[in-house]
Amino acid sequence: MRSLRGRLLTACAVIQLVVLMMVMANTSRIWHDTVRQALGVRINALSQLFNATLAPPLTRSTAEAKAVLDSLQSVDGIRYLVLRRADGTVIASRGWQIGVPLPEVDVLDADHPLGKQVHAAAPISVGDQALGELRYGVSTQPWHSLIGTLSVQNAAILAFGLISTLVLMIWLIVWLTRALNRLVDSAADPLHFSPLPVPEGSDELALLTRRFNGMGEAIRERLRELAEARRRGEANLALAETERARLTALLSAMRFGVLFVDNEQRIVFHNPAFSALWGVPSTGLTGRPVDDVLRQAANRPPLVDLPAHYRGELPPGHDRVDFGELTMNDGRIITQQGYGVAERDGSANGRVWLFEDVTQARQLAERMVNLAERDALTGLYNRHRFQEEIERMVVDAERRNGTTALLYFDLDEFKYVNDTFGHASGDELLKTIAREVGTQVRRHELLARLGGDEFAILLPDCTVFEVGKLADRLVSRIAQLQFSTDGHVLRPSTSIGVALYPQHANNAAELVAHADAAMYQAKAAGKSTWRMYRADSDTSRIALTRLSWKERIINALETDGFELHFQGIYRTADRELVHLEALVRMKDASGALIMPGSFIPHAEKTGKIVDIDRWVIKRTIELLAARPNMPSVAINVSGRSFDEPELPDFIGRLLRLHCVEPTRLLVELTETAAVSDIGEAQRFIDALRATGCTVCLDDFGNGFASFAYLKQLKADILKIDGLFIRDLPNDTDSQVFVRGMVSMAHDMGKTTIAEFVENETIYRMLLEMGVDLVQGYYLDLPNREHPGLLRGLERRKENDDVPQSD
């Protein structure tokens, strides 16, 4: 049986027997399944028949139901019948002894063996009313007889087929092995192969002999070629080693951590960056399981199941999978990506992992997100975040029938500090106030700086008593402060206005307006105090004050009571004057100048700011027309002008009327006004750009909210907010963000301006950071007769003195 012939005969016999048993088993299974299905159909039909037959008599009388039961017993194949009421009481029994427990109802599924009979149950009901149940048995004898007969017939047919096939296979095997033995003898020595004689004819044996002779010749020739190629292979191996050394050097020089593992997750290669990131040895890791190595790493994520993480399969069809970030023990953040490695035939050959340290990028992103809702000077929440929170708190209070209180306050006489001791002292005072007020605010309350010296506190779910106590504490604590600057000791004070929702306002906007009105009521009461909003006091002194300012502004517009001063903006690289900024001043009755901080807020609240904007625009364009050689001029347009869609047309008409090149006029818009209504701002800027004017976004970076809108707000110039510049040498955060703003602006093709340049140190730092233009007291002061204006006038006079030819 060890010969090929014996093994073939044995294999054929075994296969035939297995096939026979499989066919018999499958036939039996199919017939049993068929019988179960047929029995199921019949039982279902019988149950419907029994229900239709027994339901009517059962509703009338028990005797009539028993009579019907006698007739049903004659149905073919029924072994017994037991009729029960709905409560289980037996009414009648045929073929089953009363008192003997009834068997369980059979479930005809694949696991249920077929016995001599099937036990079934038919519910008897009329509509939704259950009358009882009929238990009955169905004989399976005819089906068993049919299956037995079929099995005997199939076995006979298959046995005949098995014997016939074996006889045929024996003859074929004997004939085939005789020829194969001749082929084996001929192929015993490939190097001295001798072709076999080819039988006559074209049958399979002749074809096989010809193919065998050809194969033998090819093998003999291939062996000779392999002997010659052996010396060439040694040279190719040396070249492959050289390429491998170059690849290893390249991977070792990468700053990304690189890790190759095989299909069993054992380390094949790693570079030095991987060892440094994870704190593992730089040698001795090859061949070790990757999860064992990382589990013992000095620097690893504390809460990650590393074995499951690195032994998991890549999703099918994904050559590259981003596995997210890991926070390591030392605080670094690492991204990890897995790449499947495949052979030429597509089979998997391990995986390569890439690890990158993104700690600095994530920290910078976190800072930028933080500044999007934080005030850069004090670290408190800014106006943008305050507006979001007050809207949310009001909606939440309305939903829960709760309350929300707003404390709105500023510092009394803060302008005196700025004007007397400078902005640096004013900033320090604001930071001191922010720290002191912050100690009085609880965790669930929100303290924000809205701009300048204005602050606000939001208190959810508080009573009038609680908000009054907080206002008392704030007034008292701020009055007790002693602020030292330039050898002087100042005692600041504050006036606080309080308003509650829904007692004093119907929405967030009204809550802010009424808290603001209450603050002015506190100022009218003598300052350094607080007032709860009272509607009957809302038109007191503050309304009269605003009215008087409105009249003064109207009078100044009608009597030429405004004038323009100019400050230069210089190229950082060579301090060359590039353009001027026009700054409006107001004159009082004695001719003394009033600074914008005193009249601009009232102009904005009374709506006269738009008239001031138009006056500045008109005077600037007239000046540019009169002095064609002077530098270009930048003007400031208020946020209220966004509500004046015809203002860009007004600018365009004046430029055309006075024949002024539009590029000589720069229009500055504040960031906070632009992002407060991004849609209107975008339309306004597009209309300005259509006139040909250059658009500058002023106070850029205030809260960093503007980065998200730069693509929509197509400004040409970005003026970095002075809060980032004033203390630039001492504020590392400001240094980081100024570099970031300059880099982003340059990438988007925009020019950058830094204002508040007040000393040589700041100027040098801005030069090193790549800021394009600078402006500030260090370079020049605002002046009505700026040298840039005089230079333009001198050139005009020189041109006028040139004789004209007839």
Residue 196's pLDDT is: 62
Helices (H), 439-538: 464-479, 508-524
Q: Are residues 515 and 575 in the same domain?
A: no
Q: Which of 402-406, 542-546, 645-649 has the lowest mean pLDDT?
A: 542-546
8 Å CB contact between 286 and 275: no
Report angle CA 638, 640, 643 to the nearest 5 degrees. Answer: 130
Q: Are residues 340 and 378 in the same domain?
A: no
Largest CA distance in the chain: 145
On whether residue 278 sits in a domain, the answer given is: yes
pLDDT digits (tens, 9 = 90+) for 559-602: 889 999 999 999 999 999 999 999 999 988 777 888 887 788 88
Same-domain status, 16 and 146 = yes
**Residue 366: beta bridge partners?**
none
Residue ending a domain, among 329, 357, 385, is 357
Q: 89-138: per-residue pLDDT in tens?
A: 888 888 888 878 888 888 777 666 777 788 889 898 887 888 888 888 88
Backbone angles phi, psi at 610, to 5 degrees: -65, -40
Nearest to 74 by CA among 103, 99, 53, 105: 53
- The reply to whether 239 falls in a domain is no
The label of the residue with tokens 């072994």 reads: 79
How high is the pLDDT of residue 565? Answer: 95
Q: Is 775 helix (H, G, I), strand (E, B) or coil?
A: coil
| 595 within a domain of the structure (yes/no) | yes
How confident is residue 441, by pLDDT bands cut at 50, 70 and 90?
A: very high
Do 498 and 627 lie in one domain? The reply is: no
**Residue bearing the bigger pLDDT, 487 or 805:** 487
Residue 674: the pLDDT is: 59
Beta bridge mates, 269? 260
Q: Please check whether residues 340 and 438 belong to one and the same domain.
A: no
CATH number of the domain enclosing 51: 3.30.450.20
Distance CA 297, CA 457 (A): 49
- Say how far apart CA 250 and CA 240 lie, in whole Å: 15
Looking at the structure, tell me whether residues 583 and 680 fall in a common domain. yes
pLDDT, residue 771, reads: 96
CATH number at residue 781: 3.20.20.450
Q: What share of the chain is helix, strand, coil (3-state, %, to 5)?
A: 50, 20, 30
Query: Which letter, b or e, does each residue of 29-55 get, where b requires 16 or more Cβ atoms within 10 Å of its Cβ?
Result: eebbeebbeebbeebeebbeebbebbb
CA 461 to chain centre: 33
Instruction: Note whether residue 62 is domain-resident.
Output: yes
83 DSSP β-pair partners: 92, 134
Write out the two tokens for 291. Answer: 């999860």
Arithmetic mean of pLDDT, 489-517: 92
User: Helix or strand or coil: residue 704?
Assistant: coil
pLDDT in tens, 218-236: 776 776 777 676 686 666 6
In terms of domains, do 288 and 377 share one?
Answer: no
* Percentage of the chain exceeding pLDDT 70: 82
Strand order in the sheet with 129-139: 90-94, 78-85, 129-139, 117-126
350-354's contacts with Cβ under 8 Å and 24+ in sequence apart are: 350/260, 350/261, 350/262, 350/263, 350/268, 351/260, 351/261, 351/314, 352/258, 352/259, 352/260, 352/261, 353/257, 353/258, 353/259, 353/260, 353/261, 353/310, 354/256, 354/257, 354/258
Strand, coil or helix: what is 79? strand
Beta-sheet pairing, 333-342 with 717-720: unpaired
776 & 685 share domain: yes
Q: What would the pLDDT profile of 243-254 be if each residue is shown by its tens digit?
A: 777 777 777 777
Query: Are 216 and 187 in contact, with CB atoms under 8 Å apart?
Result: yes
Residue 168, domain member (yes or no): no
pTM summary value = 0.41
Residue with structure tokens 């199921």? Answer: 40
CA distances from 673 to 206, 392, 639, 677, 775 (A): 96, 21, 5, 7, 22
Output the CA angle 472-474-478, nearest 5 degrees.
125
Query: Buried b / exposed e across 694-726, counting CB within 10 Å, b at 16+?
Result: bbbbbbbbbbbbbbebbeebebbbbbbbbbbbb
DSSP secondary structure string for all residues of 714-765? --SEEEE-GGGTTTGGG-HHHHHHHHHHHHHHHHTT-EEEE----SHHHHHH
Which of 538, 560, 579 is at the close of a domain? 538
Characterize the bridge pairing of strands 717-720 and 751-754: parallel
CB 730 within 8 A of CB 710: no
The confidence score (pLDDT) of residue 202 equals 66
Assigned domain for 717 exists:
yes
In terms of domains, do 710 and 739 share one?
yes
Residue 216 inside a domain? The answer is no
Same domain, 618 and 663: yes
pLDDT at position 653 is: 94
**Is residue 217 domain-resident?**
no
Decide if pLDDT at 272 tops 80: yes
Positions of E strands within 529-576: 530-532, 562-571
Task: Say if residue 157 is exposed, middle or buried (CB neighbours under 10 Å; 0-12, 13-18, 19+).
Answer: exposed
How far, in Å, CA of 405 to CA of 461, rounded? 8
Same domain for 353 and 382? no
Structure token digits, residue 470: 């907080």
Q: Which residue has the higher pLDDT, 407 or 346?
A: 407
* Rounded CA separation 804/802 (Å): 6
For residues 185-200, average pLDDT: 61
pLDDT tens per residue across span 716-767: 899 988 888 988 998 888 898 899 889 888 988 899 999 999 899 999 999 9
For residue 70, give its domain range. Answer: 4-151
Instruction: Tell me what pLDDT residue 411 has.
Output: 93
Beta bridge partners of 355: 257, 336
Strands 632-637 and 577-587: parallel
**Predicted pLDDT of residue 71:** 78
**Residue that is last in its domain, among 117, 151, 185:** 151
pLDDT for 477:
93
Confidence check: pLDDT of 73 > 80: no
Structure tokens at 701: 């970076």
Rounded Cα distance, 563 and 784, in Å: 8
Helix (H, G, I), strand (E, B) or coil at 632: strand
Distance CA 585, CA 599 (A): 9
Mean pLDDT for the chain overall = 81
Residues 265, 347: one domain? yes
Going by pLDDT thresholds of 50, 70 and 90, the confidence category of residue 195 is: low
Give the chain's radius of gyration (CA, Å).
Answer: 49
Q: What pLDDT, on the 0 to 100 scale, is given for residue 703? A: 47
Return the pLDDT at 291: 81
Residue 199: DSSP 8-state = P
Token pair belonging to 299: 């620097």
Which of 197-201, 278-282, 427-431 holds the top average pLDDT?
Answer: 427-431
Q: How many Cβ atoms are within 10 Å of 502's Cβ, its own excluded?
A: 16
Task: Give me the number of domains the chain comprises.
Answer: 4
Which CATH number characterizes residue 430's domain?
3.30.70.270
Segment 401-434, tens digit of pLDDT: 899 999 999 998 888 888 788 888 899 999 999 9
